[in-house]
Structure 1
Amino acid sequence: MRKTFRLFTLLVFFGSIAASLLAAAQDASPLVVYSGRSEGLIAPILEQFSAETGIPVEVRYGGTAEMAATLLEEGANSPADVFIAQDAGALGALAQAGLLASLKPETVALVPAAFASPDNVWVGLSGRARVLVYNTEVLGEDQLPASITDLVDPAWARRVGWAPTNASLQAHVTALRVLLGEDAARAWLEAMVANGTQSYDNNRAVVQAVIDGEIEVGLVNHYYLFGFLAEDPDVPAANYFFPDGDVGSLINIAGAGVLATSDQADAAESLIVWLLGESAQTYFAEQTYEYPMIDGVAIDARLTPLDEIQSPEIDLTDLSDLEATLELLSETGALP
């Protein structure tokens, strides 16, 4: 029944936004987008939006934490209309600061409730799972740890990689704080650093290091491996999901919200709705190997369906305390 309602809502709502798109196109004022997602991932689909709607888009790119901090600093003076974030935590931080506008109920209803804010100020655009990518020439799945917390065992010393400056890892640490408690999260980070966990600039570099045998396992988002598989289906790496609801198998989202100070709120929300349409959702599923937010868009056949991942139960709105996570990462030596 829920799927049927969402499909009906999608069809009706897309019809209702046509007038907004036309009006925005005629006005021709560019939408200013702050994107915490990389240009290589998001630029093609934003260019398609402009080509189809006639609405120009100006994009400022940076790390999700960096963009969120900029928006918090700019406050009411920000020129941004839309914020696209790599994770729910940054969106939650802006929501707590009162910087995001309420979205129409019809917009929020397009995605599952678990992937939208309960106060209707942001929605997920695509889903991603945290995984342990491993070198299949060195390890079998039966040799991998049952929990992310087991990676601090001396047996894993200098064999693990991560990208602590990446927003997804930072959100993952926030989830550790929420689910395990502040003391346990701090102890885990300190132990990971002491165990010689190798730091890389980004998730892709972690996966490359696993493939090259520089490290044996790495903490990343699931889709980075698929970029390598597209180039070479025989790369010696696979994704592993921690079982039994372990915090290591966190499901997060890339999402978006409209800035409360935007003077183009209708057009800004129309962009978000367009990104939840079939064309954009198919792009996320086929080109970036992410999980679509709407029904009727197939995922890559090699992906584990979301409902088969034994992910922890967590409210994504609880991941908003980004500042404390950054402080903790710095204090424990995980961040340079």
Structure 2
Amino acid sequence: MTNRFAALAAGATLLALVGCGASGDPAAEQESSAPAVEAESDDALTLYSGRDEELIQPLIDMFEETSGISVDVRYGNTAELGALLLEEGEQTPAQVFLSQDAGALGALGSAGLFTTLPEDVTASVPAGFTSTDDSWVGVTGRARVIVYDGEELAADDVPVTVDELTTPEWAGRVGIAPSNASFQAFITAYRVLKGEEAADEWVAALAANDPQIFENNGAVLTAVNDGVVDTGLINHYYWFGQATEIGEENMRAQLSYPEAGDPGSIVNVTGAGILSGAAQDADALEFVEFLVSAEAQQYFVDETFEYPLAEGVEAPEDLPALDSLVNPDLDLSDLESLEATQELLSKHGLI
């Protein structure tokens, strides 16, 4: 999948360049000068969701009930759906893409697959948590954390930087989900913050340190909570979701937030963009507006324990303040080079 995603990205760029080269076509010039078409609704929407059905479908149900718009959802891995969108190009049936992380959104935006969102939509989310060119909007914040076995480790024993996890002391004791979009976004952030050479060295050191490989964040958390592995890298909200189900007092796994400024302490976002073919689709716009509405933001707080990004909705009480976790040196729009991260992980045998 890694090579395929990279190849498709290159193909999309090539097609875009070919399209630009045709700008001298009179028909194309006539089309570009045509007046804007008023948005239309057919009360139906096709959504590609890189977020799990268990988390998102109740929100879709809320939207369908309040709007009267029927939503046909295709669920899948964020990276795989991103590759599919690049492959389908203008022929995609998707009108909205809901992504698990900013990196995939940035890659698709750079490939020219998104239309520009209205300013009132993107302005509803603070700068730093949305795109810089209005091609997509952030929906929720997700902090990267180190989860650890509270029965085997004291809080002071847990590394405060991800670099420490590659030392001999932690050999075989760290759980990761390298095929997961949020892990790949973290590696991309490491590349952006510390440079390509440092990132290559870190991934090589991690791979040589016998990490325990899992399918996703939830599996990493379960392994730590069951005492199978001492530590792991996950998003914060998985812990809160499981604690709600079984009670915090029954959680063997505990959370540690890496020190501010460390690549492991990034706050990534989920987000959504409207595909260029749906630029005039009123239903697509209504859905994206719904995602940043107070109703949807409160759903994410209550049901998924993520940070709300739109003003007027408070984060869960047990979470550190969002501004205390943000890395000021990281622009989320720089996480678009997903294919380079996948190549790096593949180079060292992690995917």
Q: Does 1:120 align with 2:140?
A: no
Partner of residue 35, structure 1: 49
Q: Does 1:210 align with 2:216?
A: no
User: SS of the residue aligned with 1:311?
Assistant: coil
Indicate how the Cα distance of structure 1 residues 209 and 240 shifts in structure 2: closer, same or farther if over 3 A, else same. Answer: same
Q: Does 1:313 align with 2:329?
A: yes
Q: Does 1:300 align with 2:316?
A: yes
Partner of residue 190, structure 2: 176
**Residues 246 and 312, structure 1, Cα contact 8 Å, conserved in 2:** no
Deviations 1:88-137 (A, max 9, x none): 00000011000000000111110001111111110111000000011111
Distance 1:280 1:207 in 2: 26
2:146 to 111, 132, 155: 132
Q: Does 1:77 align with 2:88?
A: no
2:58 to 39, 44, 51: 44
Q: How does 1:63-212 map to 2 (within 5 A)?
A: 63-212=77-226
Q: Does 1:323 align with 2:339?
A: yes
Runs of 4 or more consecutive aligned structure 1 residues displaced over 3 Å after TM superposition: none
Indicate how the Cα distance of structure 1 residues 99 and 310 shifts in structure 2: closer, same or farther if over 3 A, else same. Answer: closer
Distance 2:280 2:57 in 1: 20
Stretches of structure 1 that go unaligned for 5 or more consecutive residues are: 1-19
User: SS of the residue aligned with 1:114?
Assistant: coil
Indicate how the Cα distance of structure 1 residues 290 and 318 shifts in structure 2: closer, same or farther if over 3 A, else same. Answer: same
**Identical amino acids, percent of aligned pairs:** 48
Distance 1:269 1:241 in 2: 36
Q: How does 1:195-274 map to 2 (within 5 A)?
A: 195-232=209-246, 233-234=248-249, 235-262=251-278, 264-274=280-290
User: SS of the residue aligned with 1:113?
Assistant: coil
Partner of residue 27, structure 2: none
Indicate how the Cα distance of structure 1 residues 133 and 311 shifts in structure 2: closer, same or farther if over 3 A, else same. Answer: farther
Distance 1:264 1:55 in 2: 16
Tell me the TM-score normalized by structure 1. 0.90
**Residues 163 and 202, structure 1, Cα contact 8 Å, conserved in 2:** yes
**Residues 82 and 259, structure 1, Cα contact 8 Å, conserved in 2:** yes
Instruction: Note the C-alpha offset of 1:310.
Output: 5.7
Partner of residue 293, structure 2: 277
Distance 1:264 1:249 in 2: 38
Deviations 1:152-176 (A, max 9, x none): 0000011100101100001111111
Distance 1:108 1:270 in 2: 13
**Residues 49 and 55, structure 1, Cα contact 8 Å, conserved in 2:** yes
Indicate how the Cα distance of structure 1 residues 305 and 284 shifts in structure 2: closer, same or farther if over 3 A, else same. Answer: same
Distance 1:195 1:179 in 2: 22
Q: May I ask how many residue pairs the two structures share in their alignment?
A: 312
Larger CA deviation: 294-303 vs 121-130: 294-303
Indicate how the Cα distance of structure 1 residues 106 and 206 shifts in structure 2: closer, same or farther if over 3 A, else same. Answer: same
Distance 2:334 2:297 in 1: 26
**Residues 258 and 265, structure 1, Cα contact 8 Å, conserved in 2:** no
Instruction: Note the C-alpha offset of 1:146.
Output: 2.5
